[in-house]
Amino acid sequence: MDEYLRGEILKVLRATYKAVKKKDIVKLNALSDKLTHSSSIYQDKYSIGVAVLVYSLFKIIEKNEHRVYKDWDKFYEEIKRLLLHAIIHLKKDQIKSFEHFIKRIMDTMKKQDQNVGLFVQKIIESSKVKKGSKLYEHGLSSGLVAELLGVTQWELMDYVGVKQVKYYTPSSSIKQRLAFTRRIFNLK
């Protein structure tokens, strides 16, 4: 793993750990977006995987109703413990161990219980597609994004298409643009 990238992911994971401890969902969402930008630059599995993980944590913590489960506190403590181990191993440049703990975090989120497990799985899948759309917006090809995230191009483009329509604002009419151009160049 590139040294600069390792440092960036380490900073984000430390901030993620603090945000998880405080249940600061705004910070978690911002950290996820920061990693998305790094992912678009480096196009590597580590920053993309951690971006998906952070976004998934954001969505899980955001859903307060999931804290009513009797094992929520145990789940929450396990996530914090695993995050700390991932940070320690990444700091020591033990990439295989780092990957192991990131995978365990993802598995822990999936196994919380039947209902939360389904929710977490849905969040992880939708976060892959959402983060994929952001990578696509940053200029990566849809094929590369789909391959990196393990989603189909159809899932990715379906989300990107809906998102683009949602943010679509109609442009000026031809008459308005022509009038504007004439004003700029002092034409009648």
Instruction: Tell me what the mean pLDDT of segment 142-161 comes to.
Output: 75
Q: Look over the chain and give the mean of its residue pLDDT values, rounded to a whole number.
A: 78
**Within-domain flag for 172:** no
Residue 135's CB: how many other CB atoms inside 10 A?
25
The top-scoring range by mean pLDDT among 115-119, 151-155, 162-166 is 151-155
Instruction: Tell me what the mean pLDDT of segment 8-30 comes to.
Output: 91
Number of structural domains found in the chain:
1
**Within-domain flag for 117:** yes
Give the C-alpha separation, 58 to 17, whole Å: 12
Per-residue DSSP letters for 17-28?
Answer: HHHHHHT-HHHH
In sequence order, which residues have a C-beta less than 8 Å from that of residue 148 and are 6 or more positions away?
43, 45, 48, 132, 135
Give the C-alpha separation, 116 to 180, whole Å: 55
pLDDT bracket for residue 36 (50, 70, 90)? low
pLDDT the model gives residue 92? 96
**Within-domain flag for 180:** no
Domain span holding position 13: 3-152
Query: Model confidence over 89-147: pLDDT tens digits?
Result: 999 999 999 999 998 998 887 776 554 455 556 656 766 777 777 777 777 787 887 78
pLDDT the model gives residue 30? 86
**Within-domain flag for 179:** no
More confident residue, 13 or 70: 13
